[in-house]
Chains A and B, each alone.
Chain A
Amino acid sequence: MADVIPGAWRNDAIAKVTGRTKYADDLKFVNMVYAAPVYSDFVHARLIAVHTENAERAEGVVRVLTARDVPGANRYGQIVHDFRVFADDKIRYHGDVVALVIAHTRDQAIRAADLVRVEAEPLPAVLDPEEALREGAPLVHEDHGTNLINTHRVRRGDVESGFRSSDLVIEEHFETQFVEHAYMEPEVAVCRVRDDGVVEVHGSMQHPFSTRRFVSALLGMPLSEVEVIGTPMGGGFGGKDDTAAIVCARAALAAKLTGVPVKLMYRRDWSIRESYKRHPYRVSYKMGLTRDGMIKAVQCRIVADGGAYCSVTPWVTWRSTVQCCGPYDVPNVHCDTFGVYTNNIVTGAMRGFGSPQMNFVVDSMIEIVANRLNIPALDIRRKNMVKQGSVTITGQALDDHTVAMGQVLDTVVKEFDYETKLARCAHGKGDEEEQYGVGLAMSYRGVSLGAEGVDFCAAMINVQADGSVLVETGIHENGQGAESAMVLLTAQELGIRKERVRYRRASTSVIPDSGTTVASRGTIMGGGAVVLAAKELRQKMACVAAHMLQCSAESIIFRDERLMAEGNGNAVTFDQTVEEMFRRKQFPHAFGVFQAPNVTWDEDHGQGKAYFTWVYGCQAVELTVNRTTGKVSLLNAIAAHDVGRAVNREMLEGQFFGGMAMGIGYALHEELVLDGGRIVNTNLNTYRIPRSLDVPEMKAIIVENPDPHSPSGAKSIGEPTNELMAPAVANAIHNATGVRHHRLPIRPGGTSTRARMRKSVGG
């Protein structure tokens, strides 16, 4: 393989490329039975009865479970306990599950599921979030008294005076769509009750600790009696939290009640029908600027369709609110955000978490106002973007890390030869059949959870008597390479080869609950904990080595598998030091905890230090739009992101490319079509994610400004890469055709997703 420079490394690559990795559906236990969920065809209805007798009599059926069989809490959730693991009072959306059929084979379970009859009284459904907010609208949760899930706001300065002092005031309206995560592996859970009484859960989920809470609540068992085992996962993208946890909880209940292991593997159509999506947004956005392009005021109203259950809508919409002006310094801001219950599919976490919608709006607006003012959009960006020492719209001073907004923008402009390309754009003029355009977008993003939640993470490093090393953190391997990053950091911090280090796949019964592997927090939080654990371990080992070398512990450095006395070069090997520690009855073991620096939030005014640090990114794309057909052909794309510090370069680049591709899907292809609350495109033939020919050649530029708040210096990459392609594509299409699009996905030819589906099914 002379052509390939060996460089990329991940601890699970060989198993994955040889097909040896065992994902949840690849696991088998003796006497295992299979489960299948039962849905009804109602969208909103009062549940009268679930008749299971016919299904129970069907061939191979072991048992049929409904809400009646739940020993613990059937209602649960991360913020509000409104999810029904089994529908118990109403059907609130088309994906509500009324029963679970358990049978000797999966096919038997699926066949019997059709025999369950649901008796219910249909209720008028509310399918539009604006209508849901009106007086007299049908209530999704009567006991909540309103369809409003939550509000958020930002109040800064005085927008009225800001608009008065503006030369241009523009108001525009934008809409975004329901988006499916489309992880390649659908939800799976395999559960059994062990001989010690502990319920053991293997499953495809990105939050083992949240899953444990759902299982524990449903079964009415303490957390210590549920053990969730991290299992290789076929993609998550934020989508394997609530629904995946509920799938695990149902399988755990089945295992508990039948006494045998149970596998519940989702079909793609069940997965798309039931699992939560990215929120569709409706945004009214009013911006005022001076003649020379200084933004004076922004007023915006954001309405998010939360669907039938709360999930994490208050958190998603909070990020949208905090970042509602994009990376621009705006002195007067008035933002009101509403999360709303409807009888549509539930919405929740998805890569980006409320930012892709707002960045589409904000970075489209920047170019709209630039056109109106006849000023280059780049000038408006540069004039208004956050800089070192800027204060954000929520009053946070950006003075304690490198504010790299200008650096990433300049990098993309230079590397993409952006301004030359901009001069070539067709703007809908001329007679070329393929109209050329280039577009750009940029963002900043608060890192990790911010004021959404308590943010801390644990790591353990446990050196064995032979000098081999085990590392473990509370961060989950979702496919992104988290384990590999932890191994590399451990090796770097201890001055040893990575081959010495093995990642111990976490179990919820061993490592403390370190929160969910979301919010692009894996590397910064897990890596931070690893670095702090390594520091503690180095201190322990240095004391022993200092004794062996007759020097001070402070003078010991860890390098090339040795502990060396700085100055005289005397050294002992890592192995000798470990051996000596065991002889002295000391464990070379350390526990590290990274506690995120404090953040603050005043909900009444929408002010505070929302996040402890920020990342900065810029992406650009060039494309053509066919004048006759409207077909968009992407030619090239580029991204520059400040990641703090690169831990594993090829995996980092993979996050760039994957995020950009998903952003391209968001911009041009993906949309769930709902018909009366029922999802029409429930499989991957009609829900169209990008294929190899839909994405262009892409370039990733890693910008490094190690972050002082991050013990490893590293920050985030997963989500920043996914939040910029929609506005970049929208701006490029505008520059190609002269037409501005306010709705995603963008279809210059005017073909709706529904029409495309007819074509693809028919053809």
Chain B
Amino acid sequence: MTITVNGRDYPVHEAQGEMRLIQFIREDLDLTGVKNACDIGACGACTLLVDEQPMRICTTRVKDVAGHRVLTIEGLRGDGGGLHPLQQAFIDAGAIQCGFCTPGMVLTAHALLLHHARPSRAEIRRAIYTNLCRCTGYQQIVDAIEAAAVCYEQIPHGIPETLNPRP
């Protein structure tokens, strides 16, 4: 069995398949951007994208994503390998405080904008309803996502380049 994380294939043996996905990503792959905060799928800090859809992985097994494309925050980058425009928008809008929800929040927003180029503020709020933030009151997060939307209009239909970054 193989899982694809940030464009790179990882062979997974059967015992590993039973592991919690969050443990595999954080401890075996050392991708610690994904956070463990509630263990029950209530807070969204563990959100990754699986085939471009947000998934809360604290209750997921490795085998559940075998054969699928997983994107973690470490795999999100802009043209030329720098910050993705969405990440830059989070910085510019002041949407980051403690930062613990930020990776999951950015990925949830990324999935929204991939499928919905010009969401209203209400639609943005609905999309990030799954992700808790205790610091920001969401105001500047909504600002950031709204500002970044324009950058997604140029993305051609299909799998965006950012989902298949070079390993």
Chain A positions within 8 Å of B, measured between CB atoms, are 1-10, 12-23, 25-26, 181-186, 232-235, 237, 265, 267-268, 478-481, 650-651, 653-654, 656-662, 683-685, 689-693, 695, 697-698
Contact = CB atoms under 8 A, between A and B. Distances in A.
B136 A184 contact: no
A235 B83 contact: no
A23 B73 CA distance: 15
B100 A23 contact: yes
Given A267-B39, A654-B97, A658-B136, A17 B102 contact: yes
A650 B99 contact: no
- Secondary structure call for the B interface: loop
Contact of B106 (A15, A17, A651): A17
A17 B40 contact: no
Given A184-B133, A184-B134, A235 B98 contact: yes
Contacts of B141: 692
Nearest to A267: B39
A697 B121 contact: yes
Nearest to B143: A4
A3 B151 CA distance: 10
Given A17-B91, A25-B36, A658-B97, 11 more contacts: A13-B96, A17-B96, A18-B74, A20-B74, A181-B134, A184-B43, A479-B100, A480-B135, A481-B97, A650-B140, A692-B128
B12 interface: no
Contact of A19 (B38, B74, B131): B74
A1 B136 contact: no
Contacts of B34: 19
Nearest to B125: A692
B83 A14 contact: yes
Q: Is the interface of A mostly helix, strand, loop or mixed?
A: loop
Contact of B135 (A235, A685, A697): A235
B91 A234 contact: no
A206 to B, nearest CB: 11
B100 A13 contact: no
A183 B91 CA distance: 21
Given A17-B90, A184-B43, A684-B43, A235 B138 contact: no
Q: How large is the interface on B (under 10, 10 to 19, 20 to 34, 35 or more residues)?
A: 35 or more
A404 B128 CA distance: 37
A691 B96 CA distance: 16
Contacts of A697: 121, 139
Given A25-B36, A185-B35, A651 B99 contact: no
Interface string B124-161: 11101101111111111110000110110000000000
Given A17-B83, A18-B87, A692-B125, A657 B99 contact: no
Contact of A683 (B31, B42, B101, B140): B42
Interface string B24-58: 00100001111111111011010000000000000
A440 B98 CA distance: 29
B136 to A, nearest CB: 5
3 nearest A-B residue pairs (beta carbon):
A19-B33, A479-B98, A650-B94
Contacts of A184: 35, 37, 43, 45, 98, 100-101, 132-135
10 contacts: A7-B94, A12-B96, A13-B90, A16-B102, A20-B33, A23-B35, A23-B100, A234-B99, A653-B140, A692-B138
Contacts of B45: 184
B134 A662 contact: yes
B89 interface: yes
Given A184-B132, A185-B37, A683-B40, A661 B99 contact: no
A695 B138 contact: yes
A1 B88 contact: yes
Contacts of B33: 18-20
B132 A1 contact: no
Contacts of B101: 184
Nearest to B138: A692
Given A3-B147, A8-B92, A234 B98 contact: yes
B32 A19 contact: yes
Interface of B: 26, 31-40, 42-43, 45, 72-74, 76, 83, 85, 87-103, 106, 121, 124-126, 128-129, 131-142, 147-148, 150-151
A237 B134 CA distance: 9
A266 to B, nearest CB: 10
Contact of A658 (B39, B76, B83, B135): B135
Given A18-B87, A653-B140, A3 B150 contact: yes
A698 B137 contact: yes
Contacts of B140: 8, 650, 653-654, 657
A5 B102 contact: no
Contacts of B87: 17-18
Contacts of B142: 692
A22 B72 CA distance: 15
A21 B35 CA distance: 11
B59 to A, nearest CB: 12
A553 B164 CA distance: 60
Contact of B99 (A16, A237, A685): A16
A237 B97 CA distance: 12
A232 B106 CA distance: 19
A31 to B, nearest CB: 15
Q: A1, A10, A697: which has the most chain B beta carbons within 10 Å? A: A1
Nearest to A19: B33
A685 B40 CA distance: 8
A222 B109 CA distance: 49
A233 B98 CA distance: 6
A14 to B, nearest CB: 7
Contacts of B72: 19
A235 B134 contact: yes
A1 B151 contact: yes
A659 B136 CA distance: 8
A237 B99 CA distance: 14
A234 B92 contact: no
A268 B89 contact: no
A130 to B, nearest CB: 32
Contacts of A235: 97-98, 100, 134-135
Contact of A654 (B37, B40, B94, B148): B94
Contact of B38 (A4, A17, A232, A683): A683
A481 B83 CA distance: 21
B46 to A, nearest CB: 11
Given A18-B87, A654-B140, A4 B106 contact: no
Contacts of B135: 184, 235, 479-480, 654, 658
A521 to B, nearest CB: 18
Nearest to B139: A657
Contacts of A685: 38, 40, 42
Contacts of B37: 184-186, 234, 268, 684
Nearest to A12: B99
Contacts of B91: 8-10, 13-14, 17
Contact of B134 (A9, A186, A651, A658): A658
A1 B134 contact: no
Contact of B137 (A8, A14, A23, A660): A660
Nearest to A663: B137
A85 B98 CA distance: 28
A213 to B, nearest CB: 24
Contact of A16 (B31, B89, B96, B151): B96
